[in-house]
Amino acid sequence: MLDRFNRYLAAQAALPDIKRQPVPLSITISREAGAGGLAIAGMLVDRLTADQPASVSTPWAVFDANLAKLVLEEHKLPPHLEAFMSEEAKHPIEEIVEEVLGLHPSRWTMVQHTTKTILRLAGLGHAILVGRGANIITAHFPNVLHVRLVSPLSARVRYTADRSNLSDAEAANILREQDDSRRRYLRVYFNADIDDPSRYDITINTGRLGFARSVDMIAHLAKQHEETLRSHQTQGTPIVTHA
């Protein structure tokens, strides 16, 4: 994944701006914990890269945990701040105390930096942006497809327990904590409800469909969206987007 990430940045840097028209597709993935978000994103990258025409030189790339490193590099921030870039929102008093003590920049500042980087990546195209409110940040971008992955709690517990060698109870606690953190993150920093279906173009139940069929659905919708985007850009007509 790191190699693909580096190739993506190198390809984008070498590509003249005029070659980026029309703007390529990007995808945001919001996910319930344990619904297979990162696994599906990785499978989707392979699928989309394999399906793209030979004339397209820019590979697809997933931006999840590696997004934090990119944000720090772009904004010239020290590496140790990566620890303060998780998808969670602390109590306002706790954040104020930490900022006053100079422990790190405020999380609001870090979210602003992250937002700028997400906007840049989405504008470049061929980016799969996982979490961090990417669907909210890019809501007005016509070249971005927004996906929400959900799954029954029992399926998510089983997947997480097997994957991390945990008991069902331990897995269930971790899932609840992660879901609560991501829900707070969107509510605090974007005043948005992560479960609002109107924020997404499609919501997929990975527990019922499985990962492979979920990737098939996203790839099919991505192809349709890209064709529509290309058609509108060729004709010079705008695509209506909603916040």
- Interacting residues of 209 by C-beta distance below 8 A, sequence separation 6+: 217
Domain count, the chain: 1
In a domain, 44, yes or no: yes
Q: Within a domain: residue 127?
A: yes
Render pLDDT for 14-55 as a digit per residue (tens, 0 to 9).
455 544 456 789 999 999 999 999 999 999 999 998 887 776
Say how far apart CA 178 and CA 105 lie, in whole Å. 23
**20-39 in b/e burial notation, b at 16+ Cβ within 10 A?**
eeebbbbbbbbbbbbbbbbe
* Dist CA 154 CA 157 (whole Å): 5
How far apart are alpha carbons 22 and 94 in whole angstroms?
A: 45
Query: Which pLDDT belongs to residue 55?
Result: 66
Q: Give the three-state DSSP class for 33.
A: coil
At 1, the pLDDT band (50, 70, 90 cuts) reads: very low
Q: Is residue 17 part of a domain?
A: no
Residue 13 belongs to some domain of the structure:
no
Average pLDDT over residues 5-11: 53
Cα(207)–Cα(39) distance, integer angstroms = 13
Which amino acid belongs to residue 201? D
Average pLDDT over residues 163-190: 91
Among 48, 2, 51, 53, residue whose Cα is nearest residue 29: 48
Phi and psi at 130, nearest 5°, equal -100, 120
**The domain containing residue 58 runs over which residues?**
36-224
- Kind and range of the H or E element at 31? strand 26-31
The CB density around residue 101, as the number of other CB atoms within 10 Å, is 8
CATH number at residue 122: 3.40.50.300
No. of H helices and E strands in the chain?
Answer: 9, 5
- The token pair at 6 is 């580096």
- State pLDDT tens for residues 70-118: 776 766 665 656 555 555 655 555 555 555 545 556 677 778 888 888 8
The model's pLDDT over 214-231, given as tens digits with 9 standing for 90+, comes to 999 999 999 888 888 777
Tell me the residue ranges of DSSP E strands in 92-231. Answer: 127-130, 144-150, 202-205
User: Does residue 120 sit within a domain?
Assistant: yes
Chain segment 107-155, per-residue pLDDT in tens: 777 788 888 888 888 888 888 999 989 999 999 888 999 999 999 999 9
CA 203 from centroid of its chain's CA atoms: 14
pLDDT at 108: 74
* Sheet strand arrangement including 127-130: 61-63, 127-130, 26-31, 144-150, 202-205
Assess whether pLDDT exceeds 70 at residue 61. Answer: yes
Distance CA 213, CA 197 (A): 21
Q: What pLDDT is stored for residue 83 in this prediction?
A: 59
Q: Is residue 22 part of a domain?
A: no
Dihedral angle sign, alpha carbons of residues 231, 137, 37, 84:
positive
Domain assignment present for residue 240? The answer is no
Q: 19 lies in a domain?
A: no
